[in-house]
Amino acid sequence: MIAYLLRRVGYALPTMLGVAFLCFMLVHLAPGDPLVSILPPDASADLQKQLMRLYGFDRPLPVQFGHWVWRALQGDLGTSIATARPVVHEVFNAVGNTFILATLATLIGFTVGSLFGFVGGYFRNSWMDRAASVVSVIGVSLPHYWIGMVLVIIFSVQLMWLPPSGAGPSGSGQWQWDVAHVKYLLLPAFTMSFIPMGIVARTVRALVGDILAQEFVVGLRARGLGEFGVFRHVVKNCAPTALAVMGLQLGYLLGGSILIETVFSWPGTGFLLNQAIFQRDLPLLQGVILILALFFVGLNLAVDVLQMLLDPRIERT
């Protein structure tokens, strides 16, 4: 098992390096000079050359990449052009906020999605199943930024129950766990929960259906096990896969929150990304994407390992 663990980590390392390379290349993908955003428009050719040398842009790409990775490993992702603060500092503040949002959204989405999935899987082809699958199709088809707007219209504009945007009454961006702050969290989290809801519902429905169709369930029933007992067996057998899906969805939401954060002006990574893009703050852009992608890879790894621990059948030696 430890061998598997090591192998799985060893497998993730090249992926991480590839991710780093892709993030590094983002800056060089950008049209024009990588310095164009910091240089004043009237900069002399001399100044430009000087800066090129200063930032190391005059060296060959592999060398630049090596340097960049080396510094990143030491926790130095460069300096934000817009705020002049270290990128790492900016990113970690935002990651915290996004994490709060994504976790709550995942929990809501997972709970509701599993519920629909169980109903659908248990009563296959009944009207309840059909209703549940309609809901899950709607869930995966909704443009979430739009449903965010619709929810704002309903709950903020019409009913005036919840604030339409921001992450707290003071606007400082410093998160606190109190009623005033949580009110700001509810709408974006609920909006975001639509993303995993449909996928979780579909997965759970398929899982439950498959398990119920298996012979051991027939055997359990034949031996006189009550419906509740059968249900417990089903849950036990679904759990590893369902939890894996949940973990992956959390990772997905962390990186895919940008549109929703923009709608709600939630001061998370997505919002930061948005800023970075429109201020052409390429070091910040690079840093945010690198951290989010690495997080996603790490989460994938964690889910794999966790699944192995949970599922006795998977003996990956």
Partner 1 sequence: MSATMAGTGNLPRPLMRVRNLMKHFPLRRRAIGLGRSSVRAVDGISFDVMKGETLGVVGESGCGKSTMARVLMQLIRQDSGEVVFDGRTVGDRTLPLQAFRRQAQMVFQDSYASLNPRMTIEDSIAFGPIVHGTTPAKALDRSHALLARVGLAPARFAGRYPHELSGGQRQRVNIARALAVEPQLVILDEAVSALDKSVEAQVLNLLEDLKRELALTYLFISHDLNVVRYLCDRVIVMYLGQVVEIGPAAEVFDSPRHPYTKALLRSVPSGDPLRRLDAPPLSGDPPNPIEPPSGCRFHPRCVVAQPVCSRAVPSLTDCGDRHAVACLRWQSGSGYSPASDIGGLPPIRTVEVSHA
Partner 2 sequence: MTSVSAVSQPHGDAGLLPRLDAMAVRSPSHRARVMRRLARDPIAMMASAIILALIVAAICAPWLMPADPFATSMLKRLRPVGTPGYLLGSDELGRDMLSRLMLGGRLSLFMGIAPVVMAFVIGSAIGILAGYAGGRINMLIMRCIDVFYAFPSVLLAIALSGALGAGITNALISLTAVFVPQIARVAESVTTQARRSDYVEAARASGASATIIVWQHVLRNVTGPIFVYATSLISVSMILASGLSFLGLGVKPPEPEWGLMLNSLRAAIYGQPIVAALPGVLIFLTSISFNLLADSLRMAMEVKQ
**Residue ranges binding partner 1 (CB under 8 A):** 7-8, 10-11
Choose the one of partner 1, partner 2, none that binds residue 92, judging by a C-beta under 5 to 8 angstroms depending on kind.
Answer: none
Tell me the one-letter amino acid at 141.
S
137 CB neighbour count, 10 Å cutoff: 13
Least distance in angstroms from the C-beta of 252 to partner 2:
4
Contact between 282 and 81 (Cβ < 8 Å): yes
Residue 226 makes contact with partner 2 by CB under 8 A: no
In the shown chain, the binding pattern of residues 10 to 39 toward partner 2, with x for contact by CB under 8 A and - for none, equals ----xxx-xx-xxx--xx-xxx--------
What are the φ/ψ torsions at residue 269 (nearest 5 degrees)?
-65, -35
247 CB neighbour count, 10 Å cutoff: 18
Least distance in angstroms from the C-beta of 134 to partner 2:
10
Residue 188 makes contact with partner 2 by CB under 8 A: no
In the shown chain, the binding pattern of residues 103 to 142 toward partner 2, with x for contact by CB under 8 A and - for none, equals ----------------------------------xx-xxx
Sign of CA dihedral 75, 80, 81, 84: negative
Please report, for residues 107, 112, 243, 276, the alpha-carbon distance to residue 102 in angstroms, rounded to integers and kept in the order given: 9, 15, 15, 21
Contact between 260 and 191 (Cβ < 8 Å): yes
Please report, for residues 77, 95, 96, 193, 232, the alpha-carbon distance to residue 89 in angstroms, rounded to integers and kept in the order given: 9, 10, 11, 28, 46
Measured distance CA(248)–CA(116) in Å, rounded: 19
Residue 1 makes contact with partner 2 by CB under 8 A: no
Residue 273 makes contact with partner 2 by CB under 8 A: yes
Contact between 204 and 117 (Cβ < 8 Å): yes
Least distance in angstroms from the C-beta of 192 to partner 1:
35
Between 145 and 231, CB nearer to partner 2: 145
DSSP assignments along 90-101, one per residue? HHHHHHHHHHHH
Choose the one of partner 2, partner 1, none that binds residue 30, judging by a C-beta under 5 to 8 angstroms depending on kind.
Answer: partner 2
Least distance in angstroms from the C-beta of 240 to partner 1:
20
Between 11 and 92, CB nearer to partner 1: 11
Tokens describing residue 314:
């998977």
Residue 225 makes contact with partner 2 by CB under 8 A: no
Least distance in angstroms from the C-beta of 56 to partner 2:
19
| Residue in the block written with tokens 């503040």 | 93
Cα Dmax for the chain: 87
Between 48 and 133, CB nearer to partner 2: 133
Tell me the one-letter amino acid at 114.
S
Least distance in angstroms from the C-beta of 203 to partner 2:
15
Applying CB under 8 A, the residues found at the interface with partner 2 are 14-16, 18-19, 21-23, 26-27, 29-31, 137-138, 140-147, 149-150, 152-153, 157-158, 251-256, 258-259, 262-263, 273-274, 276-278, 282, 285, 289, 292-293, 296-297, 300
